[in-house]
Structure 1
Amino acid sequence: MNGVQTASEAMTASFSAPPFEVSDPWGATTPRGLNPLDLSTILSGLPLPEIYTTAFDLAQPVGGKITVLALNKILGVSGLPPATVDKILNIVVAPTRSRITKGECSVTLALVAMAQKNMDLTIENLTAHREDLPIPHLPGLELIDFESVNEPDIYSASSSLPRVHHPVHVGSSVSDPWRYSTISTTTASKLSSIGNGGYPPAPSFLASPPISSPEVPQSVDPEATRKEMYQWFLNVDTIGISFAPEKEGVFLFKHTNYIVESKNRQTTVIRRYSDFWWMLEVLAKRFPFRILPNLPPKRLGVADEVFLERRLRGLTRFMNALVRHPVLRNDPLVVSFLTEPVELALWRKNVVISTEDEFTTRLPISDAFAKQIPGTLDLELESIKRRLPASIEYYRSMVHVLDRIQKRTEASAADYTRFSLALNALADCERKCHIEDCYNCAQLAQGYGKISSHINQTSHLLEDQARTTHRAMVENLKRHRDLLVSTQELLQRRDRSREGNAAEMLKKRIASNEAKLKTLRNSAASAAGASGNGAAGGDSSSAGVYDAQIEKITNNINSDHEELRVQNQRAILLQHTLWMEITYYHKSHAQIASMYQTFVHGQMKTSQSLFDNWKALSPVVHDLPMEVNGFN
């Protein structure tokens, strides 16, 4: 359809902003070349014991890296003294860093194994024994609580309304995006009797959206409508996406598989990135004037872990945007994508996929349908269009700034961990004074251990705060930024569709044919009159020629009138669709308040916990010996 943005053009919109990967969250540029040896490659290519991979995976890596605090928890079960743990961290992790790679984690575990065997802890010694490294002993590794914070759902605001999860039938119809389709008792019983968790198998023919022609409601209760809309926001599905354990393919052509889980449907399927791409291409043809979410971009060559992690988050936002849209979430293709257990490439061979746009299935429409569209729609669309570019840039800026804040908090957590380790090591070092029977020095060393424990707790709280900031705010800000970008692209498609106005072309063609028809009828009448008077040169067959031409042009005019009627109805449907989309866009702003409420509540909780932690430490430091005469 003319003016419709292709899926490939829309893929990178949500990733058009800079990645904002901040290496130094404090703003200064970290000097390069201080450590010419890349520790992450020292053990590359070696068949390391399984515990190396297990420890790294348990530490919940993000973007191929784990935090210093998570690494410290692993070292905590090694049984090594604090001074040794501190030495290992200082060897592997630079003071300006708060995360390490898998290769650096392997080097750390190798140093742990060497320390447990009383070997010298140097990189040179590690390199010399890289072929015959001992295996680290980490009892209770699987029992470590890495304190993962579940992602808060900003759409799950508490309410007295019950949370009802309606199953979605592949053949369900949607006329009003804000109204529920009532499922009869008979239909519900049939659905419950079908296997695969109550959802029907993939159809043999996957048609275009079976959207019935909507009618104007006789009466609308505003209060009931508000409750219905609020209930809809409570009933949205939540899609979780994670990496499948193993890549498929051969050598350089391996691809990553994704595990896609639907919370409401309780289904789990395996999908490739190309499956997401294909689905968006089909949806772009079916729903040319809906708010279509964007996919993260493709990448040629081998993708690194940071890129794959960003793509995973982008795919998660994409799928959740689909299932939150009141029309797209019920499309048979989306339902099949989330529920069909077999590989999608095989499933596609057994079904016929229709790419007809949604307007085709909704014609003809009632004459009263146009009355639903507000007269100010075009003005509202233009107003949104003017504001969107600035709003998108502001959201990109907020994402950037909050991402830096999150990384600074994470860096602070890592620094507190280092401080705690050093203080613990100091307590062991100064436990015995050079003066025999010195009570105060022993009391001071004991206090070091208590202070270290509280500072380590501070590190835990700050890391929780950083993780919550990222999941409760950074990703949700990106969600709304993506919504703004998708709305902007919708309005751009609408503008491009106006450039080739088929209705205007039909009107001009009808006017031209009507002028030709009038001329032909006049000529036919003249020819008939001349033939009837027996004029010289009169040809009785000329009237028949004119009749054939008149019939042909008349048929063309009737055909164009019918096509013009269809185009006018499509224009009404387009306007109605745009009205519903900006209504959905507008109502989505209500989720922003919940997002900030969750964020502020988390900040208050962390601040209170930090206050309680420091308050509990206060009597400990006040009990430390501070009389000068006590150190005679």
Structure 2
Amino acid sequence: MAGLRGGSIPSYYRDVFEIVCPDGESKIPEKVCVRLLLKSQLPKDVLLEIWRTVDSKQQGFLNRDGLYKALALTALAQQSKPLTDKALDAYQDTELPMPTLGDLSDLRKLTLRFRRQSHPTQLGYTYDELVGLDTLHLRIIPGKKGLIMKHVEFILESHTHGTSIQRRYSDFEILHDYLHRRYPYRLIPRLPPKKVNPSSRFVEVRRRALQRYINLVCRHPTMADDDIVKFFVTFNGKDFQHNLREKFKLLPDEFATNPLAAQSRELAGLEMQTNMSSIKDQIRQMQTNLISLRETAQRMTDRSLTMADDMNIFATELAAVSSDTRTATAWTQGSDSSWSHVKAGLRSLGPHFGRLSERSKEKATQESDGLVENISMLLALINAYQDLVDRREKGVMHEHQTAIANVERLKKHQGKLNTRKDVTTAHNWAEDAEKLGNRIVMEEGYITNVEMRNYFSLYCLNMEAQVVNTNMNQFAVIMQEMVDTQLQMNEQLQAVWKDMKPITEKILPPTSSASSPLKKTEWDAAVPTF
């Protein structure tokens, strides 16, 4: 059957193509096409006929034209029309028929999964896709829990899972321990420290750190779909810690379960091995930059808080000055009786300084929740990568080097044993040689396993570097939010200062009427009501 010979392509066809082929690749996998056609709810024999028609060469995939033809034939079948060229020819001068396929949202996820599986050395996620994996919020439950050892509890809310559950710091500790055992070669953020009888300030700082922690975990392309992580953010029953231990106590680490582990030697590649020194230097430099940026952002927040305090002091002190009801004597007043007029003006300015204080507090909050938090999130990710590099060097690389050294030592011992062979001790020599040979075989088998772990860890290190690189796009979010916050809040502050200007211009009475200050009703007419 020839390709499409006419008919205009409906926009729906193009929408379907973008769903099943989001990166514009020319080949659409057979499994994706089959899942798409099944949504038509046509009989399987009809679907098989459609597939054989559009994939007559049995290539196992479709291109764009093949997909469009499959959609047209599906629409014909749903209308009980024959699957022939003649039936399609009827649409030469009009739009091709529209199939009914229902919801296609799951197809996008399936397509992305196939795309990532077909390119195992590429992350296959955009920054928005990583953020879209989940967004979690952690809120402090007022009041401490526990009869003897008081502790703080949190409400953890997951957007993806639609859950709202209670967790405490020790729950995060258990999750952290399991993640290290399950994913020794992945990015695992640092847990904030614990403290006995913590202050409210310490608890708030820890809450923010825990919220960053769980968001980074749930936005990790591998850990986001892990059963341990899902259990942590969804289980709402009693004895969470006991249930977690029982459910996952026999879970092996990723190397034992990931099908890519067997290909890790090829996947790691020489480039990653040779580039490790450069990557470590880049990470250290980025750490330095982010620490400096976070300190600067925190100083911006502190300045806004200082501004809020200063404006509040102005409001308080002006209220005190202007509320002095003592009558000035002729001795102190002389010929200038304008002080009562000035006091009325100062009274009117007081509420404006209060507004400046409130706006400055709002500015500090937005800077803290936006600028400081976003930079801290990136820094937590960079720190996690640095920890991963250190963990690998102290772990699997050290084990590999130790195992090689052990084999070399045993082989040297074997050589010495051979030189001391004596016919009078042949039986003992043979027994010792056999034991030594068995140990060498065991050690060499261990080396093979550790070598594969080493390559797998290197492959993971490469993929985690791509996770870090993709998250660097958060800098765009940081700068956008920073500019928006400064514009919005400074406009609000400027508006308050503008409201104060006409008041300050009338604080002093006209020279010609210095002895007759404005009455309160006249001030009311000159000053906006708040």
- Length-normalised TM-score, structure 2: 0.63
Q: Deviations over 1:463-517 (max 9, x none)?
A: 1111111111222222222222221111111221322216635864897799899
1:345 corresponds in structure 2 to 241
1:500 aligns with 2:383: no
Could you tell me which of 358, 367, 371 is aligned with 1:473?
Answer: 371
Letter in 1 for 2:302: K
1:378 corresponds in structure 2 to 273
2:385 corresponds in structure 1 to 487
Mapped to 2, the partners of 1:468 and 1:274 lie a distance apart of: 30
Could you tell me which of 357, 361, 371 is aligned with 1:463?
Answer: 361
2:226 corresponds in structure 1 to 331
Provide the aligned C-alpha RMSD in A. Answer: 4.4
3-state secondary structure, aligned to 1:477: helix
Assess, with a 3 A threshold, how the Cα gap between structure 1 residues 468 and 352 changes in structure 2: closer, same or farther.
closer
1:272 aligns with 2:168: yes
1:453 corresponds in structure 2 to 351
Letter in 1 for 2:271: T
Mapped to 2, the partners of 1:413 and 1:215 lie a distance apart of: 50
Letter in 1 for 2:356: T
Mapped to 1, the partners of 2:497 and 2:142 lie a distance apart of: 42
1:298 corresponds in structure 2 to 194
Unpaired stretches in structure 1, ≥5 consecutive residues: 1-160, 162-180, 189-211, 528-536
Moved over 6 A (4+): 430-435, 438-443, 509-517, 548-561
2:304 corresponds in structure 1 to 409
Matches within 5 A, 1:38-57: none
Mapped to 2, the partners of 1:219 and 1:395 lie a distance apart of: 30
CA contact (8 A) 2:127 2:473 kept: no
Letter in 1 for 2:118: P
What is the percentage of aligned positions where both structures have the same residue?
23
2:138 corresponds in structure 1 to 241
Indicate the structure with greater helix content. 2
Assess, with a 3 A threshold, how the Cα gap between structure 1 residues 429 and 564 changes in structure 2: closer, same or farther.
closer
Letter in 2 for 1:482: A
1:287 corresponds in structure 2 to 183
Assess, with a 3 A threshold, how the Cα gap between structure 1 residues 626 and 378 changes in structure 2: closer, same or farther.
farther
CA contact (8 A) 1:242 1:258 kept: yes
CA contact (8 A) 1:440 1:630 kept: no
- Length-normalised TM-score, structure 1: 0.54
Mapped to 2, the partners of 1:352 and 1:371 lie a distance apart of: 31
Letter in 1 for 2:460: T
1:592 corresponds in structure 2 to 475
1:577 aligns with 2:460: yes
Q: Deviations over 1:280-332 (max 9, x none)?
A: 11111111111110111122x42232322222222122112211221122221
CA contact (8 A) 1:216 1:372 kept: no
Assess, with a 3 A threshold, how the Cα gap between structure 1 residues 582 and 426 changes in structure 2: closer, same or farther.
same
CA contact (8 A) 1:282 1:355 kept: no
Matches within 5 A, 1:537-616: 563-616=446-499
Assess, with a 3 A threshold, how the Cα gap between structure 1 residues 389 and 629 changes in structure 2: closer, same or farther.
same
Quote the offset at 1:607 in angstroms: 1.6
Letter in 1 for 2:194: K
Mapped to 1, the partners of 2:175 and 2:353 lie a distance apart of: 50
CA contact (8 A) 2:341 2:509 kept: no
Letter in 2 for 1:336: F
Could you tell me which of 258, 261, 266 is aligned with 1:362?
Answer: 258
Unpaired stretches in structure 2, ≥5 consecutive residues: 1-14, 16-30, 40-112, 331-335, 516-530
Mapped to 2, the partners of 1:385 and 1:613 lie a distance apart of: 49
Letter in 2 for 1:584: V
Assess, with a 3 A threshold, how the Cα gap between structure 1 residues 215 and 508 changes in structure 2: closer, same or farther.
farther
Q: Deviations over 1:171-200 (max 9, x none)?
A: xxxxxxxxxx99x89xx9xxxxxxxxxxxx
2:512 corresponds in structure 1 to 629
Q: Deviations over 1:390-422 (max 9, x none)?
A: 543443344334323322321221221232234
3-state secondary structure, aligned to 1:500: helix
Quote the offset at 1:622 in angstroms: 2.9
Mapped to 1, the partners of 2:269 and 2:245 lie a distance apart of: 44
Assess, with a 3 A threshold, how the Cα gap between structure 1 residues 431 and 599 changes in structure 2: closer, same or farther.
farther
CA contact (8 A) 1:503 1:568 kept: no
Could you tell me which of 110, 118, 130 is aligned with 1:217?
Answer: 118
Assess, with a 3 A threshold, how the Cα gap between structure 1 residues 563 and 382 changes in structure 2: closer, same or farther.
same
CA contact (8 A) 2:145 2:153 kept: yes
Q: Deviations over 1:66-119 (max 9, x none)?
A: xxxxxxxxxxxxxxxxxxxxxxxxxxxxxxxxxxxxxxxxxxxxxxxxxxxxxx
Could you tell me which of 292, 304, 307 is aligned with 2:202?
Answer: 307
Letter in 2 for 1:629: S
Quote the offset at 1:337 in angstroms: 0.6
CA contact (8 A) 2:138 2:156 kept: yes
CA contact (8 A) 1:409 1:466 kept: yes
Mapped to 1, the partners of 2:436 and 2:303 lie a distance apart of: 75
Assess, with a 3 A threshold, how the Cα gap between structure 1 residues 218 and 609 changes in structure 2: closer, same or farther.
closer
3-state secondary structure, aligned to 1:268: strand
3-state secondary structure, aligned to 1:275: helix
Assess, with a 3 A threshold, how the Cα gap between structure 1 residues 463 and 511 changes in structure 2: closer, same or farther.
same
3-state secondary structure, aligned to 2:139: strand
Mapped to 1, the partners of 2:348 and 2:136 lie a distance apart of: 44
CA contact (8 A) 2:127 2:470 kept: no
Letter in 2 for 1:334: V
Mapped to 2, the partners of 1:218 and 1:240 lie a distance apart of: 33
Assess, with a 3 A threshold, how the Cα gap between structure 1 residues 500 and 570 changes in structure 2: closer, same or farther.
closer
Higher relative contact order (CA 8 A, sep 6+): 1
Assess, with a 3 A threshold, how the Cα gap between structure 1 residues 551 and 390 changes in structure 2: closer, same or farther.
closer
Letter in 1 for 2:170: S
CA contact (8 A) 2:267 2:459 kept: yes
Greater shift in the superposed pair: 330-339 or 389-398: 389-398
Q: Deviations over 1:113-164 (max 9, x none)?
A: xxxxxxxxxxxxxxxxxxxxxxxxxxxxxxxxxxxxxxxxxxxxxxxx9xxx
Quote the offset at 1:341 in angstroms: 0.3
CA contact (8 A) 1:403 1:474 kept: yes
Mapped to 1, the partners of 2:433 and 2:297 lie a distance apart of: 72
Mapped to 1, the partners of 2:503 and 2:200 lie a distance apart of: 44
3-state secondary structure, aligned to 2:126: helix
Mapped to 2, the partners of 1:215 and 1:628 lie a distance apart of: 81
Matches within 5 A, 1:2-21: none
Give the number of aligned pairs.
397
Assess, with a 3 A threshold, how the Cα gap between structure 1 residues 475 and 382 changes in structure 2: closer, same or farther.
same
Letter in 2 for 1:610: L
